[in-house]
Structure 1
Amino acid sequence: MNFSWSKLFQFVLVGMVVMSCKEENASVIEHTTETSTIQEHPKLILTAQGVKDIRAQLGNIPVFDNTLKAVQEEIDAEIALGIDTPIPVDYSGGYTHVRHKSNMIMMQKAGVLYQILDDEKYAKYVKDMLMQYEAMYKTLPLHPKTRSYARGKLFWQCLNDSNWLVYVSQAYDCIYNYLSEDERNTLETNLFKPFADHISIDSPQFYQRVHNHSTWGNAAVGMIGLVMNDEELIDRALYGIKDLKLDANEKDDDGGFLNKDGKAGFLANIEEPFSPDGYYNEGPYYQRYAMYPFLIFAEGLHNVKPELKIFEYKEGVLLKSINALLNLSDADGDFFPLNDGQKGMSYYNDALVTAVDISYHFGTQDSGLLSIAKEQNKVLLDDSGLAVALGIKNENEKPFNKKSINLSDGPEGTQGGVAILRNEDIELVFKYAAQGSSHGHYDKLSYSLCEKGEEILQDYGLARFVNIEQKGSGNYLKENKTWAKQTIAHNTVTQNETSHFNGKYDIGSQHHSVLNYFSSENEKVQVASAKEVNAYPGTEMLRTMAILKDEDFEKPYMLDIMKVTSDKTNQYDFPYYFLGQVVETNFDYQTPKSLSPLGTKNGYQHLYVEGTAKASSDNSKLSWLNKGKFYTLTSVTNANDDLLFTRIGANDPEFNLRREAALMLRRKNTKNTLFVSVIESHGSYSPVSESAVNSNSSIKTLKVELDSEDYTAISITNVNGNTKLFITANRNALKEANHNVKINDKNYEWSGSYYFK
């Protein structure tokens, strides 16, 4: 690898001058002269000092060197293919969409290569492409596709235009000094400033919101403002558009509202969606998407405007949010698909490479992050990536241990939350959060259950084939509203075949569930309990979920207690969306000769009925096999309960939905009731040796011993006759509370939220 040592020496001198100026004028913001402006670049993400440090370490930092080599090979291949900036015509997944998306990434990477390798061919590649965009953009109309509530010009929606500018601002910063003053003026006058104005001033319904879309818009406007030293754009990015006049309660077709109360701009988008614990209200899938603009703009602000102390804003919530997000992933690093979440999205995504590197560099240099970075096997080609690469090289990494955690929701942490219970290889995700903005689902007190990264009981996630043009142009399908968002699609109670809040966003967004208690101090007993009183007026639901490690069982098991109290009789449906093949039931069922939908609306129209039964005992059991493991669901039932085998896929002529099964427990003409179940993971099956080990449930009986306003007690007796009793406090569940309750003529006394022995 050949470098120009004279230019490298210039870089060192420039870096020394910049660092000195920053120290002397840390709190001063002023317009710079042409000379000082030239000295400052690159300054946004990759810095002049960072370039010096990286060059000094090249060839001695394996993960960085390997990343650099891969990027160089990728960009060299792109340069050989030539530049293509086609007139935009497509939705997501179409050629022009994909080409412009690729161009923004290639420019960003080429700009970094120019700085690190000091090879002008990369700067020329970026310059030539930017000049083609400048020539196009001057006369470019709105995108011809009209589906979006805020159309872009390069892309069908302003969101993707914002993506483009976030990346391209980094490229522009890297080649800033390569360009002449006239070239910079041309690009800024004809491309960058109009581009930023279209995203913001021309599209307030997109920009003036608290939403992940707006975060991208804020970052785009702010980052190009930082590169251009445009204080107006920076101010607009941080605080939103001033003197904006819009009709009250104007609503966009994405389900969000324009903000008339001053809650707009980058700082508002930090303040509102994040809880003090770092949970992002739209869920981990969209947090992952939003983390890139949050963190990359924050890094730019930190480097260019350190006086803002952006990483300290709201008690450092941006860095806290990375830890929260990593904890919202399973054993394989896949994010739990809460709300509109696509399954399979993981911390191997490039946005999480950014998050991990920035968190390590600007945070506490947590050595646990290095273990994740090592698994990601690539780093950012900037200052933070260098810090991570050096940490890995020096073998500083330690395991990132995911433990049980309770993450509050809401800007003050008072709008419910998400509890994750972990015991050995079993992970339970219990959602008692707020709506989750327009990407939220109507599924209060829902949950999913995993073992070693494999779902036992699943959350469906979204109904969308992201960036697959043949499937709805890669956008959300109508089944996302008719199925995925509906309550019956989740593992929670549906009352009278109607979704929570009647499936109305305006109502659901006003309410949240309330934590009863969370306890994770005892490694053998992990418990979360929460109440929902608004999903169905007149009905209260209190759900207590526990992962229990019992020496009488092979593995930890899940205990689920759903207490329903209502002011009238209802029909309650309680589905269990299991994955795998049915092995055994302890009830007889009938299968129809032809399939019919279970209902006509609220998601029921998408469920085929494949089998029906009446509960024949106090406990109904279903066992299934999935990926070499056996699982058994044991539920407390009565003679009036219906058991329905259902399968997703009715009224879905385009096969947009996955054909997956559930067992549904239906309880009719009931006012107050209790749903109690246990799910065990047990045994294994090898198709190679064709041997089944421990394929039977270890539970003999599951019984409700007491159910009152104050306490619910459940006994679990295994096949050897050993009985354990779990008692949960339905009220007064404080850790310091003392309890005394008589069950079957025996007194039980304890302190805390629950009893298990």
Structure 2
Amino acid sequence: MIKIQILLLVLLIIISCNQKKEITNINDNNQHPKLILTARGVQDIRSKLGTIPIFDNSLQKVKEEVDAEIDLGIDIPIPKDYSGGYTHSRHKQNWFILQKAGVLYQILDDEKYAKYVKNMLMKYEEMYKTLPLHPKTRSYARGKLFWQCLNDSNWLVYVSQAYDCIYNYLTEEERNKLETNLFRPFADHISIDSPQFYQRVHNHSTWGNAAVGMIGLVMDDEDLIKRALYGIEGKEMDKTAKDDDGGFINKDGKAGFLANIEEPFSPDGYYNEGPYYQRYAMYPFLIFGEALHNVKPELKIFEYKDGVLLKSINALLNLSDADGDFFPLNDGQKGMSYYTGSLVTAVDISYKYGNADSGLLSIAKKQNRVLLDDSGLAVALGIKEGKTQPFQKKSINLSDGPNGKQGGVGILRNEDIELVFKYASQGSSHGHYDKLSFSLYENGEELIQDYGLARFVNIEQKGGGNYLKENKTWAKQTIAHNTVTQNETSHYQGKYEIGSQNHPDLHYFSSEDENVQVVSSKVANTYKGTDLLRTMALIKDKDFEKPFVLDIMRVESNTFNQYDFPFYFFGQVLDTNFEYKTSEILKPLGKKNGYQHLFIEASGKAIAGNSKFSWFNNNKFYTLTSLTNKIDDLIFTRIGANDPEFNLRRDPALILRRKDSKNTTFISALESHGSYSPVTESAFNSKSSIRELKVELDSQEYTAISITSIKGNTTLFITSNKKASKEAKHTITINGKHYSWTGAYYYK
């Protein structure tokens, strides 16, 4: 009996040792797959198939897509097109299908997917070894498969994952052939052969770094991995490379993936190019980050710079409106949202490698798909286990700059109203000249818009899908934004070299009181000798149906100037309390700096006191109340002048023009109110709730504005223009009445 017990114990020890050995082998860096989908993850996924609905549904959709492509056959056309053209689109589709087919091979253990990936890669190998530079010469860094190295890098980031998935399916001879004739030359071209593309701090080079690094991880090539992390040895960062949109990159510091984490991200996770390009860059940041986490955990990549990669996902989600669309700050295409594939990646990776924030699961449920890998499995299990909680978007201030000292973006939220206040740095080559600008949303609808970019992305008929010249002549210019323009000249003269050396500073941000939230920023020398201070408050008051915006823009200058202050609204003019005359012949507002693209539709003189303008859009009413004087001009404009190819949207604006002024203050209130039913043909609360705005005090130290409602109640908002700390104590007298408070502002 004792001998039997000893024998059983020995057997158990042997079995246990074998199990530990198996687990060790699965986690061995020599095992494949190991980048995103891991050998351990494959086992876990296979064991749970059929029991995790969102994962199973995602898998089925990918299978149907890949099977359809396999039925069509392999197509590797000789490259010749810009973005949106057939060859460009075909090679782009190929990189997606290769990655998905590789994953299907691992999860379903079906050889047809590995064979498909192998056959396509061999065709690329055959073509690439004799492939010249792309025939289109527009790019500052031409690729071979695509017109720019950026898209070549996209291809390699995805195809690296496919190669990882079928690595063990291939013979050593086949791997050597692919690595010698395709992958290493490909990595060398986008890095060593293209330092103007690779040796930078920019979303382009981030893709390049990730591409070189990921293929290096698959091939266990330490030289490529080092090149990815730290840049090309012996080469300085390129400080003069031009982007395809004509901007310059002029950053100091090191190159490589780590430098691209250090420089563009603020400690809060804001990416200096803006949310549209942050969304684009997050895929290589996070995919390569996950690969490094799995293969080289000693780097602790998700802890780098105080965990900023994972922080950035929360920041990016907060830079979206109620519908999930990203605010179009800087170059940004409207409609881009967290439903895009790169944000599926971001949400899944953040959930697995962050703090398993259950709010992310609600975003994943809206996306209705997960990655077919380890992180996607984690999200699918979290949803299945009922851990989902709403993702709460609250008022937030996101600093800009590597140390958080180069301005930022403040977002005030109350009920369905979202105020986006941009006081960020230039934003690299994708930045716009719009210091202290704002946009306003209600339940996902734009009330006061930021134009975004002038580009039809991947639509070949419009400039090959690339940036249009109007992006420079209109979208980047100051007059295209809701901020002040001086003497019809853009901030920093519209020059990147000047703008990149300057930035606004936060004056204060306060969101503790949900009824009165304020963001305030100041900037010097957008124009020589002129300083700006803008304070915007989102106020919820019992006399108003919805929270309203109070806007105070102070201008101090050494000279007399003309100031233009636009509001880019949507909808139909409803009513004004000032007279205006419509234009019989449409003429441009000016000759340059964006003015040449604005038609004058009507103009008139403001009134002394409050000028009111109401408009109607999407069955809702809106009113702008502005403090004006009799010499102010009010100009109705519409975008579209000097635009023979109809590249610009025909959007309207109302511009308040103040001439021959030195120091001045623009004060306005914006209300959303009422509704209209076309079914019952009834209007509710169609008129403004403001009887009067009035300046009670405007000095270098304080600005005080009284707001009297139509109910006869008056409130007073006072902002400190100098001392703005939460601890600062203030005592002032206005019209014989004493006011004392602690903090940056007073409202009562």
Q: Same fold (TM over 0.5)?
A: yes
Change (3 A) 1:737 1:163: same
Secondary structure at 2:119's aligned position in 1? Answer: helix
The answer to whether the 8 Å contact 1:360/1:384 transfers is yes
**In structure 2, which of residues 170, 174, 177 is the aligned counterpart of residue 179 of structure 1?**
170
1:77 corresponds in structure 2 to: 68
2:512 corresponds in structure 1 to: 521
2:500 corresponds in structure 1 to: 509
Cα shift readout 1:326-369 (whole Å, capped 9, x = no counterpart): 00000000000000000000000000000000000000000000
The answer to whether the 8 Å contact 1:548/1:557 transfers is yes
Structure 1 residue identity aligned to 2:718: I
1:116 corresponds in structure 2 to: 107
Give yes or no for the alignment of 1:499 onto 2:490. Answer: yes
**In structure 1, which of residues 696, 700, 712 is the aligned counterpart of residue 691 of structure 2?**
700
2:180 corresponds in structure 1 to: 189
Change (3 A) 1:473 1:13: farther
Cα shift readout 1:224-258 (whole Å, capped 9, x = no counterpart): 00000000000000000011269975656655657
CA–CA separation in structure 2 for the residues paired with 1:364 and 1:489: 41
| Alpha-carbon shift at residue 262 of structure 1 (Å) | 4.7
1:354 corresponds in structure 2 to: 345
The answer to whether the 8 Å contact 1:597/1:605 transfers is yes
| Higher mean displacement: 614-623 or 746-755 | 614-623
2:656 corresponds in structure 1 to: 665
Matches within 5 A, 1:271-310: 271-310=262-301
Structure 2 residue identity aligned to 1:89: K
**In structure 2, which of residues 459, 468, 481 is the aligned counterpart of residue 490 of structure 1?**
481
CA–CA separation in structure 1 for the residues paired with 2:687 and 2:124: 65
Matches within 5 A, 1:29-40: 40=31
Matches within 5 A, 1:391-470: 391-470=382-461
Secondary structure at 1:674's aligned position in 2? Answer: strand
| Alpha-carbon shift at residue 21 of structure 1 (Å) | 6.1
| Alpha-carbon shift at residue 20 of structure 1 (Å) | 2.5
The answer to whether the 8 Å contact 1:291/1:351 transfers is yes
Structure 1 residue identity aligned to 2:617: N
**In structure 2, which of residues 316, 322, 338 is the aligned counterpart of residue 325 of structure 1?**
316
Structure 2 residue identity aligned to 1:525: V
For structure 1, the residue ranges without an aligned partner over 5 or more in a row are 1-11, 24-35
Change (3 A) 1:253 1:329: closer
Change (3 A) 1:50 1:165: same
| Alpha-carbon shift at residue 600 of structure 1 (Å) | 0.3
1:3 corresponds in structure 2 to: none
CA–CA separation in structure 2 for the residues paired with 1:56 and 1:94: 42
2:13 corresponds in structure 1 to: none
| Higher mean displacement: 620-629 or 12-21 | 12-21
Give yes or no for the alignment of 1:749 onto 2:740. Answer: yes
CA–CA separation in structure 2 for the residues paired with 1:257 and 1:14: 58
The answer to whether the 8 Å contact 2:706/2:714 transfers is yes
1:5 corresponds in structure 2 to: none
For structure 2, the residue ranges without an aligned partner over 5 or more in a row are 1-15
**In structure 1, which of residues 580, 583, 599 is the aligned counterpart of residue 590 of structure 2?**
599
Secondary structure at 1:40's aligned position in 2? Answer: coil
CA–CA separation in structure 2 for the residues paired with 1:449 and 1:260: 32
Structure 2 residue identity aligned to 1:453: G
CA–CA separation in structure 2 for the residues paired with 1:345 and 1:42: 32
Structure 2 residue identity aligned to 1:158: C
Secondary structure at 1:298's aligned position in 2? Answer: helix
Give yes or no for the alignment of 1:162 onto 2:166. Answer: no
Cα shift readout 1:550-573 (whole Å, capped 9, x = no counterpart): 011000000000000000100000
1:710 corresponds in structure 2 to: 701
CA–CA separation in structure 2 for the residues paired with 1:456 and 1:531: 24
Matches within 5 A, 1:253-272: 254-255=245-246, 262-272=253-263
TM-score, length-normalised on structure 2?
0.96
The answer to whether the 8 Å contact 2:201/2:251 transfers is no
1:565 corresponds in structure 2 to: 556
The answer to whether the 8 Å contact 1:15/1:49 transfers is no
CA–CA separation in structure 1 for the residues paired with 2:123 and 2:451: 43
CA–CA separation in structure 2 for the residues paired with 1:283 and 1:22: 40
2:209 corresponds in structure 1 to: 218
Structure 2 residue identity aligned to 1:685: Y
1:622 corresponds in structure 2 to: 613
Secondary structure at 2:278's aligned position in 1? Answer: helix
| Alpha-carbon shift at residue 690 of structure 1 (Å) | 1.4
Change (3 A) 1:227 1:650: same
1:366 corresponds in structure 2 to: 357
CA–CA separation in structure 1 for the residues paired with 2:133 and 2:625: 57
Change (3 A) 1:567 1:259: closer
CA–CA separation in structure 2 for the residues paired with 1:453 and 1:66: 29
Cα shift readout 1:280-319 (whole Å, capped 9, x = no counterpart): 0000000000000000000000000000000000000000
Percent sequence identity is 77
1:549 corresponds in structure 2 to: 540
Secondary structure at 2:76's aligned position in 1? Answer: coil
1:127 corresponds in structure 2 to: 118
CA–CA separation in structure 2 for the residues paired with 1:13 and 1:457: 66
The answer to whether the 8 Å contact 2:236/2:254 transfers is no
Change (3 A) 1:310 1:247: closer
Change (3 A) 1:561 1:245: closer
Give yes or no for the alignment of 1:727 onto 2:718. Answer: yes
1:29 corresponds in structure 2 to: none
CA–CA separation in structure 2 for the residues paired with 1:248 and 1:82: 44
Cα shift readout 1:204-225 (whole Å, capped 9, x = no counterpart): 0000000000000000000000
The answer to whether the 8 Å contact 1:218/1:237 transfers is yes
CA–CA separation in structure 2 for the residues paired with 1:664 and 1:16: 72
**In structure 1, which of residues 642, 646, 650 is the aligned counterpart of residue 637 of structure 2?**
646
**In structure 1, which of residues 712, 736, 739 is the aligned counterpart of residue 730 of structure 2?**
739
Change (3 A) 1:721 1:560: same
Aligned length: 733
Give yes or no for the alignment of 1:387 onto 2:378. Answer: yes
Change (3 A) 1:159 1:596: same
Secondary structure at 1:347's aligned position in 2? Answer: coil
| Alpha-carbon shift at residue 691 of structure 1 (Å) | 1.2
CA–CA separation in structure 2 for the residues paired with 1:749 and 1:248: 52
**In structure 1, which of residues 71, 87, 93 is the aligned counterpart of residue 78 of structure 2?**
87
Secondary structure at 2:450's aligned position in 1? Answer: coil
| Alpha-carbon shift at residue 14 of structure 1 (Å) | 11
Change (3 A) 1:170 1:285: same
CA–CA separation in structure 2 for the residues paired with 1:63 and 1:451: 31
CA–CA separation in structure 1 for the residues paired with 2:574 and 2:40: 63
**In structure 2, which of residues 24, 32, 36 is the aligned counterpart of residue 20 of structure 1?**
24
1:32 corresponds in structure 2 to: none
TM-score, length-normalised on structure 1?
0.95
The answer to whether the 8 Å contact 1:500/1:536 transfers is yes
Structure 1 residue identity aligned to 2:431: G
Runs of 4 or more, structure 1, over 2 Å off, are 12-23, 245-262
Structure 2 residue identity aligned to 1:524: N
Secondary structure at 1:534's aligned position in 2? Answer: strand
The answer to whether the 8 Å contact 1:255/1:505 transfers is no
2:6 corresponds in structure 1 to: none
Structure 2 residue identity aligned to 1:397: T
The answer to whether the 8 Å contact 2:359/2:388 transfers is yes
| Alpha-carbon shift at residue 686 of structure 1 (Å) | 1.4
CA–CA separation in structure 2 for the residues paired with 1:153 and 1:353: 29
C-alpha RMSD over aligned residues:
1.6
